[in-house]
Chains A and B, each alone.
Chain A
């Protein structure tokens, strides 16, 4: 069966510091991968998605970037965090080549101080 992992689970970082969140998927090949951010009362906002290694699409301009160095690894980064980057970050995957249901990881709670 497929499993999706995210780490760290929680993170507290000062403004201006770098960020790296990691997501890995097991049990499937060539998945579509997604990063969402969830802010209180605002639902989920799609940040990035990827259909393959090195292929990243950005949905919104922001202080963040994403990379996919391996088929089942998706990384969310920032060079300098802003207070507004605080939130709950969710990684998800779906079967490659489709936009069928997505399966979510446990999330990372990021607090920028």
Chain B
């Protein structure tokens, strides 16, 4: 069964500093990988996705993520964070085998931005 681990429950970053959120997955084949962001009391918004091809993917709001098969990782990065980036971030893996199953999510990383 597929699984996702986000090792950091909370991360605190100063405004303007760079950010990296870690995600490790377990999946037998090449996975479909996603990062979502959730503001308090809201639904999830898709930041970016990886299906195949270029291992560095660009997303919305200035985020990017890099797929590293050898490390089973899909870390999310942003060169300079803004106070509005404070939120909960979820990494997820989907079934590339063509099924309609739901995504498997990590438990999330809570991002705090210091002024």
Binding site for B on A (CB under 8 A): 6, 32, 34, 36, 41-44, 46, 49, 51, 59, 90, 92, 94, 96-107, 109
* A43-B90, A100-B32 given; A107·B43 CB < 8 A: yes
* A99-B32, A100-B94, A101-B34 given; A46·B43 CB < 8 A: no
A100: chain B residues within 8 A (beta carbon): 32, 49, 51, 94
For B, the interface residue count at a CB cutoff of 8 angstroms equals 27
**A101 and B48 alpha carbons, distance in the complex (Å):** 9
Partner of B43, one of A34, A51, A105: A105
Structural contact, B106 and A43, CB atoms closer than 8 A: yes
* A36-B102, A42-B107 given; A99·B94 CB < 8 A: yes
**A35 and B115 alpha carbons, distance in the complex (Å):** 37
**A50 and B51 alpha carbons, distance in the complex (Å):** 23
* A103-B46, A106-B43 given; A46·B106 CB < 8 A: no
* A and B contact pairs by CB, cutoff 8 A, 27 listed: A41-B9, A41-B107, A42-B107, A44-B44, A44-B103, A46-B102, A49-B100, A49-B101, A51-B100, A90-B43, A92-B44, A96-B100, A97-B100, A99-B32, A99-B94, A99-B95, A99-B98, A99-B100, A99-B101, A99-B103, A100-B51, A100-B94, A101-B34, A102-B102, A104-B45, A106-B43, A109-B41
Structural contact, B42 and A107, CB atoms closer than 8 A: yes
A42: chain B residues within 8 A (beta carbon): 107
* A41-B107, A44-B90 given; A101·B99 CB < 8 A: no
A106, closest chain B residue (CB): B43
Structural contact, B46 and A101, CB atoms closer than 8 A: yes
B34: chain A residues within 8 A (beta carbon): 101
**A109 and B41 alpha carbons, distance in the complex (Å):** 8
Kindly provide the distance from the CB of A28 to the nearest chain B CB, expressed in whole angstroms.
Answer: 14
Given A46-B102, A104-B36, 17 extra CB contacts under 8 A: A36-B102, A41-B107, A43-B106, A44-B105, A46-B101, A51-B100, A90-B44, A98-B98, A99-B94, A99-B101, A101-B46, A101-B94, A102-B46, A102-B102, A103-B46, A105-B43, A107-B42
